[in-house]
Amino acid sequence: MGFFVNGLAATAAVVVINNTHYHYDAGVFYQPYNNGYQAVAPPPGAIVPELPPDRTAVQVGDDTYFYFGGIFYVQAPNGFQVVRAPAGALVYNLPEGCTQVQAGNITYLQYNGDYYQPVEVDGQPVYEVVNIEE
């Protein structure tokens, strides 16, 4: 679980997935917890009305994704839908809370069920989304 807040902004959107209520505000999903709200991993398939201002566009083949805080989105008819990280996507930062996973002699970083391999592009460290078998 992520950080805890006592209250949310009045602009927080309510997102319902499989009869579970989430609150979405500025790229973070929350659920009620202990008289406040706990930041949680986003539910796949959730549709949010708008993206956080600091998101980045990520191109994978012909598809455009939007990335913020370890979450990938695609444009949907009523907003933006949370999707699994697309293999081949390159991102420049990962959120706190990643865990290291060793597969053979390669160390991957895992966040929210997705795996990232540290690589270098044009001399800069980046993280590439990879599919690995556990």
Higher pLDDT, 16 or 127: 127
- DSSP string over 50-95: S--TT-EEEEETTEEEEEETTEEEEEETTEEEEEPPPTT-EES---
Same domain, 71 and 95: no
Same domain as 53, residue 36: no
Beta strands at 28-33 and 36-40: parallel, antiparallel or unpaired: antiparallel
Full-model pTM: 0.85
Could you read off the pLDDT of 76-107 as tens digits, one per residue?
Answer: 998 999 999 999 999 999 888 889 998 888 89
Question: Are 65 and 95 contained in the same domain?
Answer: no
pLDDT at 132 over 90: no
Instruction: Based on the fold, state whether residues 78 and 96 are members of the same structural domain.
Output: no
pLDDT at 4: 77
- Total domains present in the chain: 3
* pLDDT reported for residue 122: 93
Domain that holds residue 78: 47-83
pLDDT attached to residue 133 = 66
Q: Please check whether residues 74 and 96 belong to one and the same domain.
A: no
What confidence tens digit (pLDDT) does each residue in 29-42 have? 899 888 889 988 88
Average pLDDT, the chain: 89
- Cβ pair 91, 116 in contact under 8 A: yes
56-78 per-position pLDDT tens digit: 999 999 999 999 989 999 999 98
On whether both 51 and 76 belong to a single domain, the answer is yes
For the cut 70, the answer to whether the pLDDT of residue 134 exceeds it is no
pLDDT at position 66 is: 97
Return the SS3 of 1. coil
pLDDT in tens, 109-123: 998 889 999 999 999
